[in-house]
Every structure is written in structure tokens, then in C-alpha cells.
Amino acid sequence: MDELDSAIVRLLQTDARQSNRELARQLGVAPSTCLERVRALTRRGVIRGYHADIDPAALNRGVQAMVAVQVRPLSREVINAFKASAAEMPEVLSVFVLAGGDDFLLHVAVQDLDHLHAFLLDRLSKRKEIVGFRTSVIYQQVQKPFPSLLPEP
């Protein structure tokens, strides 16, 4: 990654909907150069896709929580099965597989605290492989874009 690649990633993270022509203008390069660089970043897996940033509260999912989950027995089959199952749950935004005291961290978004409680009781506590879980309600989130990890120009 050189300075131009880093600048492209920064600008796309700010607004992925801008045209190639606009991106090239901001970078001070030819549109053909910009397009080839973006394609190369995509081929190398730096750019994995483009998405809309959705506000869960606008979809009546105003309560978010992190749920740390422990499963047993610890085997590849149990871990893979739970990971796949959790990813399919509509309440789950992200599934993290962990090392340490917890095996998974689930980022969930639900309508309200009653729905969070129902999710924990009806979805998680009934699963035989889950031996424990802890829930932390999220009050606020500040999401830092990945370009902040890149060297500044």
C-alpha cells in the first residue's frame, strides 16, 4: 500500500458512493489510474465490498448489547455449528470467535430490554452447548473507520 492506495481507502471509507471521476479529482490523478488502483485494491482483498451504514434504532432495534458466550465441549464441530447458527439469528449483528475465558462475543440489536431478555432466555439459554453467557448493554458506540489505521499522508 502506497500513499495513493491509502488515500483511496480513506476517501472510499468516507463516501463509497462517490463516482470514480470524483474520487480521481480529489486525488489529483487520472480517472483511469484511479479505477485501476481501486480494482487492484479489490483484487488484493483490501476492499471487500461496499455497504450502507444503517442505524439500528431507525429499524426499531434501539437496544444493542454484547453477549459473551461459553460453549462446551470445545471442539471444532461445536464452535463451527454455533458460529453458523448465531450468524443466522436475526438479532445478531456480528459474531466474534474468541480465545480466552469466553468462546464467542455476539453483538446483538433488539427492540427493547424485554426483547433482549427474551433473546437471552428463548434463544441462548435453551441451547445445550451453551454453559454460560454474560450480557453487557451498549449505551453508546463510536465506530472508528479503518483508514485511521493507515499512515497519514
DSSP code string of 48-83: --------GGGGT--EEEEEEEEESS--HHHHHHHH
Stated pTM of the model: 0.81
* 8 and 38 Cβ atoms separated by less than 8 Å: yes
Same domain, yes or no: 36 and 90: no
C-alpha cell at 133: 453467557
CA angle 64, 12, 10 (to 5 degrees): 90
CATH number, position 14: 1.10.10.10
CATH number, position 131: 3.30.70.920
Supply the range of the domain harboring residue 24: 3-43
What confidence score (pLDDT) does residue 149 get? 57
**Is position 52 within any domain?**
no
Per-block average pLDDT, block size 10, for the chain (153 residues)? 90 92 97 97 94 89 98 96 97 97 97 98 96 97 70 57
**Is position 9 within any domain?**
yes
Same domain, yes or no: 93 and 125: yes
